Chains A and B, each alone.
Chain A
Amino acid sequence: MTCRQRRGSLDRGVGRSAIPRGAALLVLCAVLALGGCEKKSGARTAPGPGTGGGSSDAAEILFGEVASLTGPEATFGQSQSRGIALAVKEINEAGGVLGRPIRVITYDNQGKPTESAAAAHRLVVRDRVHVLLGEVASSRSLAMAPIAEEHQVPMITPASTNPRVTEGRKWVFRTCFIDPFQGRVMARFAREELGLRRVAVLRDVRNDYSVGLANFFVESFRELGGEVVSDQSYSAGDIDFRSQLTEIRARNPEAIYVPGYYTDVGLIARQVRELGMKVPLMGGDGWDSSKLYEIGGEALEGSFFSNHYSFENPDPVVQGFIARYREAYGEVPDALAALGYDAARLAADAIARVGSLERAAIRYALATTRDFRGVTGTITIDENHNPVKPAVVLEIRNRGATFAKTIEP
């Protein structure tokens, strides 16, 4: 009994000291949370006082951007974000759109779909942006798209190539070509330009992008009278590809189509050469990284890949963009930066053309875009909200990509 009493009093002693501390911590948490909230409501009132319905009387035009600034694909998100920032800076320096400056609100999604949805929701409901921009990865764009649809805000994804992102949606657009097109481009290039008849395919089964490209390549190449002599697969992250490549070598193809990401492609190229095959490799925009040449080295010489743009394109629009981007960020822009740049400019162009900030009007203007001159080609939006525009095929020479051919749709 005494023992219990003692324990009780001990407990109480602990409890007494714990209460104020616990309470203090709770207060601290609450203050932190509230502090953040206040800032938010401040941000909400700033863009447009009295924004009842369309917020068309706002002083500035708001672009909301969702980007993977951190996480495993941070370089993609950063390129996109830089491209958009550069476009907006240029437009603002030239006097803005409809006499108003554009402001971009960028939120990070850490490369997670859930975060993308939360960020998009915040941009649409709280910040009341006029146009939603993002994301690079298709899965994250797919998480954002239903929100754009529900709240009727035009959304442009710069680089999500999966057809399902815009399929059946009224408010979602993109500035990149889709997977089927890219597969066909390479098939046409191989068949018509290189005159190849026998090719092998090595696809990454863990990557729906790679599988899609491979499927459409095979389909088109056969239609054009070519023969796919071997269709092998690997999983992203594999290190040894010799068994698949030996199988391919036995079939004696004239080229190998490897629509994977640059990380695997570099290794595959090395092993292709080690096995004594001298045929060129072909791929898609997943190859576009300076890291490709570090990993693949000499093995990639003479290979081809399709891409959104070439920085060797002499077009002044392209060269001007590259010069300004270099000045601002000190590096040559990759395709994602170019697509981000085009997405932001396309949005601004649509607003300027329609002369209104009504979201429905902007949507209409985007849907009827014709011959918009972007860095990644002349864009015309088709009825599925995909751009009809050319792709470029690049050849790898001296550890760099040189322009080989533009393939019109």
Chain B
Amino acid sequence: MNARVLESWAWILFGLLLVGLASALLPSASQSYPMYVAGLAGINVILAVSLHVVNGLTGQFSLGHAGFMAVGGYTAALFGTRIISEYKLMYISEPVSDTILFFFATLLGGAAAGLAGLLVGLPSLRLRGDYLAIVTLGFAEIIRVTIENVEVLGAATGLVGIPPLTNLFWIFFWALVTFLFAKRLQESTHGRALAAIREDEIAAEAMGIDTTGYKVRAFVASSFFAGVAGALLGYYLTILTPRDFTFLKSVEVVVMVVLGGMGSISGAILAAILLTILPEALRPLREHTGVDLRMVIYASLLLAMMLLRPRGILGRQEVWTLLRRRREEAEPEVAP
């Protein structure tokens, strides 16, 4: 094993340790409002980073993230209300059993969303540009309308009674997994192929890249994590309603990716955190001004960002490459 591999494993372990420590030391989400918002931010990070794989890395424009989130969320929630609330695993205590089943539920939600991603992706990823956007948008709307009409899923009122099992640990854990997945994908052969497709699909195809295959795989992986985020959200709020999975939710995630910089994981993370905290932080403003300026400020910030820095916060750069470059730049100055 060379030093590079060791180093990357060390980073992963460090990340896991950090997640464990953070969730052990920080107050729980239900007792502290900032932690509650941190939880929502974590879920949005998962969404933004997973969409980044399709929108930022592969350059395909998907508008259906809310749909995949709904598929995963409702699948996991149904499992929760039907199984976790009723049964427990043999020979182990209830909290442990709940935790194991909950982890399984998030995987199940992710798998369901991934399957949906495969079904949508296989035919539609042969298309290019706007067509994919239209197909995914249509898919998300179909999912939402279906949920509204199905009694078992709670119809328009929402699916209630989901056990409150999502805590900060699970959110941070999945955010870390999503991040690691996206980062390592980006730096792998597979990721280079995806980037090639983004830059020039015809040229990529001429170089022997199976473009449709690569796109579908990226799309399925992205849907999987969207499903996980949906599952986490359901168990976090204990209710899922179709109103949370409208077209606007998909757009919100796209905005996070674009604002962060198309093609930058760290940018997507930063934007997701910023766009979750900002509306919450602006809440007290109403007390002072009397009118709700929250959305006005939010929107003008987006406008300002796009006018002043159309590439997004980080463009295509990553925080770590910027830091490394800065270090490398600093060293030669000392050396000679």
Contacts and interface: CB of A to CB of B under 8 A. Distances in A.
Contacts of A113: 158, 237, 239, 241, 243-244
A372 B118 CA distance: 58
Interface string B142-163: 0000001100000111101000
Which 7 A/B pairs are nearest by Cβ-Cβ distance? Answer: A36-B281, A126-B33, A139-B241, A139-B158, A113-B241, A125-B33, A39-B284
B157 A118 contact: no
Nearest to A111: B243
Contacts of A33: 274, 277-278, 281
B270 interface: yes
B280 A142 contact: no
Interface stretch (B89-97, B128-136, B310-318): B310-318
B282 interface: yes
Given A22-B322, A142-B239, A164-B160, A114 B284 contact: no
A146 B241 contact: no
B119 interface: no
Interface stretch (A50-58, A203-211, A223-231, A263-271): A203-211
Nearest to B326: A19
B278, B284, B309: which has the most chain A beta carbons within 10 Å? B284
A18 B31 CA distance: 40
Contacts of A35: 281
B333 interface: no
Interface in B242-288: 243-244, 270, 274, 277-278, 280-287
B283 A139 contact: no
B309 A122 contact: no
B156 A208 contact: yes
A63 to B, nearest CB: 13
B59 to A, nearest CB: 20
A105 interface: yes
Interface string A128-167: 0000000000110011001000110000000000101000
A350 interface: no
A106 interface: yes
B158 A142 contact: yes
A122 B282 CA distance: 12
A301 interface: no
Contact of A117 (B157, B237, B282): B237
B156 A207 contact: yes
Given A114-B40, A143-B237, 17 more contacts: A12-B325, A15-B325, A19-B326, A29-B270, A37-B34, A40-B281, A108-B294, A112-B243, A117-B237, A118-B280, A122-B36, A125-B30, A125-B33, A125-B36, A151-B30, A162-B157, A208-B156
Contacts of B280: 36, 118, 122
A119 interface: yes
A189 interface: no
Contacts of A118: 36-37, 40, 280
Binding site of B, secondary structure by majority: helix, strand, loop or mixed? helix
Nearest to A207: B156
Contact of A22 (B32, B157, B239, B314): B314
A43 interface: yes
B32 A125 contact: yes
Given A25-B313, A33-B278, A69-B292, A114 B156 contact: no
B17 interface: no
A92 interface: no
A69 B87 CA distance: 41
Interface string A189-206: 000000000000000011
B164 A146 contact: yes
A70 B278 CA distance: 17
Contacts of B322: 15, 18-19, 22
B153 to A, nearest CB: 12
B229 interface: no
Contacts of B31: 125
B194 interface: no
A177 interface: no
Contacts of A353: none
A375 to B, nearest CB: 25
B165 to A, nearest CB: 13
A32 interface: yes
B238 interface: yes
Interface in A11-36: 12, 15-16, 18-19, 21-22, 25-26, 29, 32-33, 35-36
A146 B237 CA distance: 8
A70 B37 contact: no
A121 interface: yes
A206 B149 contact: yes
B329 interface: yes
